[in-house]
Chain A
Amino acid sequence: MRHLGVLARIQLDDHEVERLTGQLSAIVDNIAKVSEVATPDVPATSHPVPLQNVYRPDVVGEMLTVEQVLQNAPDATEDRFKVTAILGEEQ
């Protein structure tokens, strides 16, 4: 469960890990029945409408301004999103 939390980038506390473990095992027990009918001869469907290669003309359309793009940013500076350090000190 902690590993899944790391993969999903959610810092779960001990209480959440314990509760989620119980709930997820009950849910997984119930949904595992999909394998009963999913035989090798059945093709998989990822999408209800089998559209492929939807293109549009390569022309400049309406675009957001820099101000619009940044208007909801938690932090921004010099027309850019500002984030916490992405590298540790030794790097």
Chain B
Amino acid sequence: MSDLIRLTAADLSAKLAAGEVSSVEATQAHLDRIAAVDTEVHAFLHVSDHALEVAADIDRRRAAGEQLGELAGVPLAIKDVLVTTDMPSTSGSKILEGFLSPYDATVVARSRAAGLVPLGKTNMDEFAMGSSTEHSAYGPTHNPWDLDRIPGGSGGGSAAAVAAFEAPIALGSDTGGSIRQPAHVTGTVGVKPTYGGVSRFGAIALASSLDQVGPVSRTVLDSALLHDVIAGHDPHDATSLTDAWPSFAAAAREGATGEVLKGLKVGVIRELPDSGFQAGVSASFRESLALLEAQGAEIVEISAPHFEYGVAAYYLILPAEASSNLAKFDSVRFGLRVDVPGGTVEDVMARSRDIGFGDEVKRRIILGTYALSAGYYDAYYGSAQKVRTLIQRDFDTAFAQVDVIATPSAPTTAFRLGEKLDDPLQMYLNDVTTIPVNLAGVPGISIPSGRRHPVHRATARGCPPLPRRCGARGTARGFVGWSAA
């Protein structure tokens, strides 16, 4: 295995800038790695056939003396939920097989402008619905640490690609944990940015009030560098915040000195049950807290009594929004059309959607249709929206007392492929600690904490303070603190 693929994005970019290595060499090394391991890992749905040309162009521009971004020439994997003009975008669904977008997602356009080299599109649960990638219409991704186990989901492809050294960094999307839970089970870093901090334009929508695009990497600094590339206001996204973001990379580098942990108040949720959490996860989490304390952080017990209703609220809000968002797959403008001889356009629509959508997608569309239907709307969707308010208040109260909140990122380590496939409810409970973060719109990060067994890695997660006023500072500070840990 080439040493080039072992480098972090930060180290690779330093070598590129110093002329010690070319982008073509780095890109070729990752393409070779993909060719060597991806038949087993299956992190990629599509590998770019012109990555080397893009890399060569970056090398030429650098040689000509052009000032390039810090990550210029670094290869990047892109979750298939993000549309790209030069590669198919399917969101893991048969209904979009072969779809070629006429425009790039904003995060993709910004990555290209920064000189990153797209390697390919990564596998995911269909329309980002799932925690294992087993709901991909193109077959599951396997956890590189143990091929019999799940890589998490929905962004299992991006996490596995980074964990298997097929890419140094990747883009993901997180609606209820789809960046952070895969990071948790693959020993990588995953960030769900503040809602509105990163453009959703060109991210095929699952639940628009929860979705957020973010970075996937092997180190906190690499995620921070990629966040610096993709974050910031985008007029194409009406929910995009106009706030200017400070450099997260600068904050991460400052945090690596360790000083910033002194006096940092880390909240631990009193109501988080011990039951349901694998013993190794709880133990590793406690070790992480002890490490934080040893470096000067103060552990503060906080109360978040409504978090336990988060999963229930989420599985009403998400299906409701998804059933509406996925109505656009009507077999008219794009996507699969299955003809029904003698049938009306509605027959064709219903048949195409039955053939084109997988089981989990149909399950959630039907659930969302039910939650929004007359007579049930107030009891289900209306109540879920109230729970959302209560969870936001829990965060407000907590952040009046602490700087960050830490929880295990998921209740268990990587489970076996097939283990929870027939029990959707068990699959949904994977996201018990990540979901409240999406409901409130605050940022979250999942970072590795235990390494005693390759698969059994527990992870701590920091949720920096609410971002509306103090957020820019708070968010950077969250990165800083955890980076040092």
Does B323 interact with chain A (Cβ within 8 Å)? yes
Contact A54 to B388, CB < 8 A, known contacts A34-B316, A48-B440, A85-B344? no
Does A72 interact with chain B (Cβ within 8 Å)? yes
* Distance between A38 CB and nearest chain B CB, rounded to angstroms: 4
B26-34, B132-140, B164-172, B346-354: which lies at the interface: B346-354
How many residues of B sit at the interface, in one of the four size bands? Answer: 35 or more
Contact A34 to B384, CB < 8 A, known contacts A20-B366, A45-B389? yes
B309 & A34 in contact (Cβ 8 Å cutoff): yes
Does A77 interact with chain B (Cβ within 8 Å)? no
Residues of A within 8 A of B346 (CB): 9
Chain B residue nearest to A11 (CB atoms) is: B350
Does B385 interact with chain A (Cβ within 8 Å)? yes
A35 & B238 in contact (Cβ 8 Å cutoff): no
Residues of B within 8 A of A13 (CB): 354
* Distance between A30 CB and nearest chain B CB, rounded to angstroms: 6
Neighbour of A45 across the interface among B333, B345, B351, B385, CB < 8 A: B385
A10 & B370 in contact (Cβ 8 Å cutoff): no
Chain B residue nearest to A88 (CB atoms) is: B344
Neighbour of A23 across the interface among B340, B357, B424, CB < 8 A: B424
Residues of B within 8 A of A28 (CB): 367, 370
Residues of A within 8 A of B244 (CB): none
Residues of B within 8 A of A72 (CB): 99-100, 333-335
Residues of B within 8 A of A68 (CB): 102
The residue in A32, A44, A46, A48 that gathers the most chain B C-beta atoms within 10 A of its C-beta is: A48
Residues of B within 8 A of A47 (CB): 209, 239
* Distance between A22 CB and nearest chain B CB, rounded to angstroms: 11
Residues of A within 8 A of B428 (CB): 27
* Distance between A32 CB and nearest chain B CB, rounded to angstroms: 7
State A35–B102 Cα separation when bound (angstroms): 44
B366 & A9 in contact (Cβ 8 Å cutoff): no
B386 & A43 in contact (Cβ 8 Å cutoff): yes
Does B296 interact with chain A (Cβ within 8 Å)? no
B386 & A11 in contact (Cβ 8 Å cutoff): no
Chain A residue nearest to B210 (CB atoms) is: A48
Contact A24 to B350, CB < 8 A, known contacts A32-B380, A37-B390? no
State A31–B306 Cα separation when bound (angstroms): 14
State A3–B353 Cα separation when bound (angstroms): 15
A1 & B366 in contact (Cβ 8 Å cutoff): yes
State A20–B366 Cα separation when bound (angstroms): 9
State A10–B309 Cα separation when bound (angstroms): 30
Neighbour of B385 across the interface among A46, A54, A87, CB < 8 A: A46
Does B25 interact with chain A (Cβ within 8 Å)? no
Contact A83 to B353, CB < 8 A, known contacts A20-B363, A44-B389, A71-B102? no
Does B455 interact with chain A (Cβ within 8 Å)? no
* Distance between A67 CB and nearest chain B CB, rounded to angstroms: 9
B102 & A69 in contact (Cβ 8 Å cutoff): yes
A49 & B363 in contact (Cβ 8 Å cutoff): no
* Distance between B46 CB and nearest chain A CB, rounded to angstroms: 16
State A83–B331 Cα separation when bound (angstroms): 8
A37 & B366 in contact (Cβ 8 Å cutoff): no
State A81–B102 Cα separation when bound (angstroms): 16
Neighbour of B332 across the interface among A35, A83, A85, CB < 8 A: A83
Interface string of A64-84 (1 = CB under 8 A from B): 100011011111000001011
B103 & A64 in contact (Cβ 8 Å cutoff): yes
A49 & B239 in contact (Cβ 8 Å cutoff): yes
A33 & B367 in contact (Cβ 8 Å cutoff): no
State A7–B362 Cα separation when bound (angstroms): 12
Interface string of A8-24 (1 = CB under 8 A from B): 11111100100010011
Residues of A within 8 A of B383 (CB): 34-35, 38
Contact A49 to B195, CB < 8 A, known contacts A27-B367, A42-B389, A72-B100? yes
The 3 A-B residue pairs with the shortest CB-CB distance in the complex, in nearest-first order: A48-B441, A38-B383, A74-B337
| Given contact pairs A42-B389, A71-B102, A84-B347, a sample of 9 additional A-B residue pairs in the complex whose CB atoms are under 8 Å apart | A4-B366, A8-B369, A27-B424, A31-B313, A33-B309, A46-B385, A47-B239, A54-B238, A83-B348
11 A-B interface contacts by CB (under 8 A): A4-B369, A10-B350, A10-B353, A16-B362, A31-B315, A43-B389, A45-B386, A73-B334, A74-B337, A84-B343, A84-B344
Identify the A interface with B (CB < 8 A): 1, 4-13, 16, 20, 23-24, 26-28, 30-39, 42-49, 51, 54, 56, 64, 68-69, 71-75, 81, 83-88
